[in-house]
């Protein structure tokens, strides 16, 4: 771990604990800083605060006192989930006190180079693919950020011959000052997290921060087929590596109906890629580019692509049973995500959908329903989905009470060669605490199907 003279013997406030705040506080303490942590959760219910107090840090819990910043802090490190509208953060900025996110600290202490991945969709899949490719190629990757372990905790132990593959959200990227990945990736930009960001421009500017400090010694991999991303790419000073999912090109990485190409040279047949869907092809191409730039052997890249069946709950192939394939896409909590999943299949589909009715339209699905032979639906949206399915003339539209019944009905409706796809287009909160538990239920029911 690199030493940071800028924090040594300085008073630093860590605002918000959870995993990232706790890791940052402990690291700053080890670097010789005088650390105060402040968390809204009461001390007697706050295991992280109790642990840090035992390490000798100053702990303030239960509220954010108005005079908190009067202690003369040189720096504030905030949990990514705390917005910049938070009164303490806003006052720190007003007073000219630097405010870091935890990933800024991670970058500054790391002896290992960093690969940073961001975008509205596909971050986790891309991060996992790159990690798997580099591991297969003996490139000593570590995985961090929104996926896996807190970035600063990974960075504090990383060695020079390793590489940190880091999933980065807009929350983490907003406000970075020095972070400079060796390779950065911007997959796509769609409207999201406007409850955190003041507007769409603030959100997209935060995403673009992943490359803002890069220079000609670095690489920026980006989606050249999305105009907004291409416009941002013009401002990057890194070496640019565009990706194209719909045509062969002479620069960057691209794919047509048959092959994948690197700078116009054929790499391999596209058919070897196990992941389905155009949206996943974006993730695949970006991952290949990063692995090639890290000098990962092509044979290792191909091996991963031919065996990688997806991240859990994201168009994840659960199993093949009696020549039917079952996919878990519980992460699809809106129609846009379900549209992307449907787009990836040419086989007949039995679609399982439903959940919390957020009042949004399902019309985005209409162009992708041509091979949906049955819609099995449950949850708070049953009335709307029943009407939608009937209006779109889906051959079979079946209302059930819960996911267990939905799997039973889907099996009855399926035939050899069909795909059974859980892609709810709705949030889970009416029947499940989160989409992960919903996906786990689906996996459990599918794995319980018996071979006859």
Which residues are annotated as part of the binding site for ATP? 119-125
* Residues 154, 143: Cα–Cα separation, whole Å: 8
Instruction: Please report, for residues 22, 47, 60, 164, the alpha-carbon distance to residue 44 in angstroms, rounded to integers and kept in the order given.
Output: 16, 8, 12, 35
CA–centroid distance for 297 within its chain: 26
What are residue 174's phi and psi, to 5 degrees?
A: -65, 125
Q: Which residues are annotated as a binding site?
A: 119-125
Long-range contacts of 201-205 (CB under 8 A, 24+ apart): 202/174, 203/170, 204/228, 204/232
Q: What tokens does 103 get?
A: 């990933």
Cβ contacts of residue 430 below 8 Å, gap of 6+? 355, 356, 379, 380
Expressed in angstroms, the distance from the first to the final Cα of the chain is 57
Dihedral sign (CA 392, 396, 400, 402):
negative
What are residue 9's phi and psi, to 5 degrees?
A: 60, 25
Residue reference for tokens 């940071």:
4
* Residues 218, 207: Cα–Cα separation, whole Å: 17
């Amino acid at each position: 771990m690199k030493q940071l003279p800028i924090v040594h013997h300085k008073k630093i406030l860590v605002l918000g604990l959870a995993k990232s705040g706790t890791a940052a506080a402990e690291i700053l303490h080890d670097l010789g800083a005088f650390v105060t942590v402040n968390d809204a959760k009461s001390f007697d219910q706050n295991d992280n605060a109790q642990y840090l107090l035992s390490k000798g840090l100053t702990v303030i819990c239960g509220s954010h006192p108005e005079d908190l910043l009067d202690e003369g802090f040189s720096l504030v490190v905030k949990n990514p989930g705390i917005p910049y509208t938070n009164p303490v953060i806003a006052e720190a900025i007003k007073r000219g006190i630097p405010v870091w996110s935890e990933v800024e600290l991670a970058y500054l202490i790391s002896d290992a180079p960093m690969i940073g991945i961001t975008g509205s969709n596909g971050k986790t899949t891309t991060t996992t693919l790159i990690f798997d490719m580099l591991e297969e190629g003996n490139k000593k990757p570590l995985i961090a950020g929104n996926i896996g372990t807190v970035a600063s905790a990974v960075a504090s132990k990383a060695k020079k011959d390793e590489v940190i593959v880091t999933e980065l959200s807009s929350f983490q990227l907003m406000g970075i000052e020095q972070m400079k990945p060796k390779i950065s990736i911007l997959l796509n930009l769609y409207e999201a997290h406007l409850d955190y960001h003041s507007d769409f421009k603030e959100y997209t500017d935060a995403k673009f921060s992943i490359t803002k400090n890069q220079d000609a010694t670095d690489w920026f991999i980006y989606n050249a087929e999305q105009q907004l991303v291409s416009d941002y790419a013009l401002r990057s000073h890194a070496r640019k590596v565009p990706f194209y999912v719909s045509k062969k090109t002479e620069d960057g990485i691209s794919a047509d109906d048959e092959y994948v190409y690197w700078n116009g040279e054929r790499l391999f047949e596209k058919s070897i890629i196990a992941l389905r869907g155009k949206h996943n092809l974006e993730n695949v191409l970006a991952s290949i580019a990063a692995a090639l730039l890290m000098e990962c052997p092509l044979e290792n890249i191909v091996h991963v692509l031919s065996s990688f069946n997806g991240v859990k709950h994201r168009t994840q192939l659960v199993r093949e049973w009696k020549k039917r394939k079952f996919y878990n896409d519980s992460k699809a909590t809106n129609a846009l995500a379900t549209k992307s999943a449907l787009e990836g299949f040419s086989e007949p589909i039995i679609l399982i959908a439903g959940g919390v009715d957020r009042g949004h339209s399902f019309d985005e699905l209409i162009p992708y329903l041509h091979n949906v032979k049955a819609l099995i639906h449950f949850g708070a949206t049953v009335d709307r989905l029943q009407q939608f399915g009937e209006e779109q003339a889906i051959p079979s539209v079946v209302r059930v009470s819960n996911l267990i019944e939905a799997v039973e009905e889907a099996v009855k409706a399926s035939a050899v060669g069909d795909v059974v796809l859980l892609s709810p287009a709705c949030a889970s909160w009416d029947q499940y605490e989160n989409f992960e538990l919903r996906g786990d239920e689906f996996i459990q029911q599918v794995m319980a199907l018996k071979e006859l």
